[in-house]
Amino acid sequence: MKPEDLMRLAVRVIFGLVLLSSVGTAADSPPVIRAFERTDTVPHISREWATKRAADITGLKATPASVEYGLATDTSIAFADVKVLKRLAWKVEFEGIEILGKNREGVLQKNPNISSITVLIDAQNGAALKVFSPERGLGGLLERTADRPELYLPGSSLVLKSASRAPTVPFMKALSIASDRLGRFAPQAKEVVAYFGLMTDLLRLRIDDKVVDRPFWIIIAGGLDGGGFSMPPGSPGPPPRVRQSYVAVDAESGEWYTGGNTGAGN
């Protein structure tokens, strides 16, 4: 087995152990703060440019339903170099979106829960701060505040920096890749959040195939109803069920990189 394959296997084992011990931690973390306030400040990036950038980021060609400029706050955004606290931003919303994906039986289906996608763009440098569907509260993501350099995903060693460029692989394509590679969650997800930026994998820095400041998508899907995790013999109670998945997709090649699931009690 190649060194990089051993590393991937080790990461999966570590991820699984941390995952099972982290069930319910989202509820114990500080509440996520989100706000979008109007401002009279003149933007560095025009409305037209922001609209085109949102289309390039998502791959959506429809005319946006709304385009707003203001001060964005979102304490869940996990960039190592950016804190989104009253940050000048454009918020571009697309409605009438169809998210298609194959279900567990391999049949192509339309997601009945998500019909709009919003893009939050830094109004100073054009970086994609966040791509997301409407919040679903307890029925959606098990989201946490981004209070450390690593992404808040359980067991993750991934650090993400913001990128002012647009991805080669847009969000909608990356979402399809992510779903096909990890549980085929696109048809059933109730909420989706994605980040595009320059990713570094801290656990792969000592092997030949390093991942350092490479363009990636981190896609998180919540509100799932997957099967139970495999538990050691004699474990008390029923196994936690999959409620959330995350996947890292190379934003240049479109290749799947890594991913995992988060559980919740039955």
- Tell me which residue range forms the domain holding 120: 3-264
- pLDDT tens per residue across span 115-146: 999 999 999 999 999 999 998 876 678 778 88
Three-class SS of the chain: CCHHHHHHHHHHHHHHHHHHHCCCHHHHCCCCCEEEECCCCCCCCCHHHHHHHHHHHHCCCCCCCEEEEEEEEECCCCECCCCCCCEEEEEEEEECCCCEEECCCCCEEECCCCCEEEEEEECCCCCEEEEECCCCHHHCCCCCCCCCCECCCCCCCEEEEECCCCCCCCHHHHHHHHHHHCCCCCCCCCEEEEEEEEEEEHHHCCCCCCCCCEEEEEEEEECCCCCECCCCCCCCCCCCEEEEEEEEEECCCCCEEEEEEEEECC
Q: What's the confidence (pLDDT) of residue 38? A: 95
Report the domain count for the chain: 1
Q: What's the confidence (pLDDT) of residue 259? A: 85
Which of 137-141, 196-200, 221-225 has maximum average pLDDT?
196-200
